[in-house]
Amino acid sequence: MFVFMATELISKIVQKDFKSIARAISLVENESPGYEDFLRQLPSSNTFVIGITGPPGAGKSTLVDALMSKMIKENNTVAVLCVDPSSPFNLGALLGDRIRMSDWYIHPNVFIRSLATRGSLGGLAPKILEFTDIMKAAGFDYIIIETVGVGQSEVEIAGLADVTVVVMVPEGGDEIQTMKAGLMEIADIFVVNKSDRPGADAFEKNLKLKLAPAFQSKEKEIAIIKTIASQKEGIDDLYSEILDHRRNEKSSSKKNILLTEKAFHLIQQQRMKDIDKEDLKLKLNQADSDSFNLYEFVWQYVYSNNR
C-alpha cells in the first residue's frame, strides 16, 4: 500500500501538477497511510468556492460548463468537483457530469474530478472537505462543486461553499410549494434554468413570492437569475452576481457557523473510525430476534467501543 510522501506531494500540488492533485485525492479517499499527516501540512488558501446544487435534470452540469467557459475567457484557473450518484454495486461514480464537460478534459487551466457519494445522503462525497482543501492548496482561482440533487439534505453544501447557487427549472412549480426554509437559507443565488420553456416568468414570480419572508433575514436579497445554459444565455448575469458575492464576503458570524460545521463534520468522521460495519453486521446476525432491542444494542455497541 502506498504511503504518503507529504512534503514532496504538496510541493507538486502547489505547482498545479494535475497528476499530483488527482493522486492526492485518491490517496485521501482511500485513507492511505499518512493521509492525515498530509492534510495537516496543507497550506491554507482563500480560494473562492462556488457550490451549485438543485434537483436532477435542472441542467447543473450544462450551467457549470457555461460558467467555466466565461471564467476561462477571463484567464482564470478552475477546479471542478462533480459529485455523481454512486453505482449501487461498486459505489463508484457514474461519471455523467464528465460526459457533459468533455470540452475541458485537456485544457491546461481546468481540473475536473468526478466523485461518488458512496451512500452519503447529503449530496456530497464523504471526504469532500478534504478534497476541496487539496484544490485550495493548488491555488486555483475558482473551485466549483456540483452536487447530486437529492433534496433537503443538499443544505450540506452551505458549509463548504462561499456562495451557493440553487438551480431550478420552470416545471418545478411543485418544488416551490414544498421548498423548506433550510434551502432558502442556504441559497445565495437562485437560477431559473431552461427559461425559454413555457411558464418561466410565472415560475420566477412565484419563487420571488416564496422567498419574500427569507429576504428579511438576509443582508442582501437572494438574486434570481434566468438562464438558458445550453445557449450560454444569462451566464454573464450569473457570473456578475457571483463576483458581487466574492467582493462582499459572508459576515464573520456566518463564517464562524460554517467553520463550526466543517470542524463538527471532521470530528464526527474521526469518532466513527472505530465503527466497523462488517463487525456490526456480524453482531446483528447473531442477535436473538425474539428479544432484540435496537436501542439497547446500539448503546451496548457504542459503550463497548468507547471503553
Residue-wise pLDDT tens digits, 39-82: 999 998 889 999 998 888 889 989 999 999 999 999 999 999 98
Count of helices and strands (H, E) across the chain: 13, 7
User: Is 232 domain-assigned?
Assistant: yes
User: Is 89 domain-assigned?
Assistant: yes
- Asked if the model's pLDDT at residue 118 lies above 70, the reply is no
| Pair 89, 36 in one domain | no
Q: What's the grid cell of residue 36?
A: 492525515
- pLDDT of 216: 58
- Asked if the model's pLDDT at residue 254 lies above 90, the reply is no
- pLDDT of 187: 81
Backbone angles phi, psi at 118, to 5 degrees: 50, 40
Percentage of the chain beyond pLDDT 90 is 35
- Asked if the model's pLDDT at residue 209 lies above 80, the reply is yes
d(CA 177, CA 276): 41
Q: Is the CA virtual torsion 169, 238, 186, 21 positive or negative? A: positive
Mean pLDDT computed over 287-300 = 80
| Pair 56, 13 in one domain | no
- Asked if the model's pLDDT at residue 121 lies above 50, the reply is no
Q: Tell me the CATH number at 145.
A: 3.40.50.300
| Pair 152, 247 in one domain | yes
- pLDDT of 123: 43
User: Is 74 domain-assigned?
Assistant: yes
| Pair 125, 254 in one domain | yes
| Pair 2, 57 in one domain | no
User: Is 117 domain-assigned?
Assistant: yes
Q: Where are the beta strands (DSSP E) in 17-162?
A: 48-53, 78-84, 110-116, 142-146
| Pair 13, 90 in one domain | no
| Pair 179, 136 in one domain | yes
User: Is 269 domain-assigned?
Assistant: no
| Pair 12, 75 in one domain | no
| Pair 171, 187 in one domain | yes
User: Is 65 domain-assigned?
Assistant: yes
Backbone angles phi, psi at 110, to 5 degrees: -130, 130
User: Is 115 domain-assigned?
Assistant: yes
Across the chain, what does the average pLDDT equal? 80
**Higher pLDDT pick, 126 / 306:** 126
Digit-coded pLDDT (tens) for 217-252: 556 678 999 999 999 999 999 999 999 988 886 555
d(CA 284, CA 271): 21
Side-chain half-sphere exposure of 23, counting CA atoms within 13 A: 16
Lowest-confidence pick of 20-34, 131-145, 203-217: 203-217
| Pair 179, 190 in one domain | yes
Question: By residue range, what is the domain housing residue 101?
Answer: 44-264
A 10 A CB-CB count for 81 gives: 26
User: Is 33 domain-assigned?
Assistant: yes
* Max avg pLDDT among 15-24, 212-221, 288-297: 15-24
Counted domains in the chain: 3
pLDDT confidence tier of residue 140, bands split at 50, 70 and 90? very high
| Pair 99, 190 in one domain | yes
- Which residue reads 466497523 in cell numbers? 276
Tell me if 138 sits within 8 A of 14, measured CB to CB: yes
Percentage of the chain beyond pLDDT 70 is 74
| Pair 189, 214 in one domain | yes
- Asked if the model's pLDDT at residue 9 lies above 90, the reply is yes
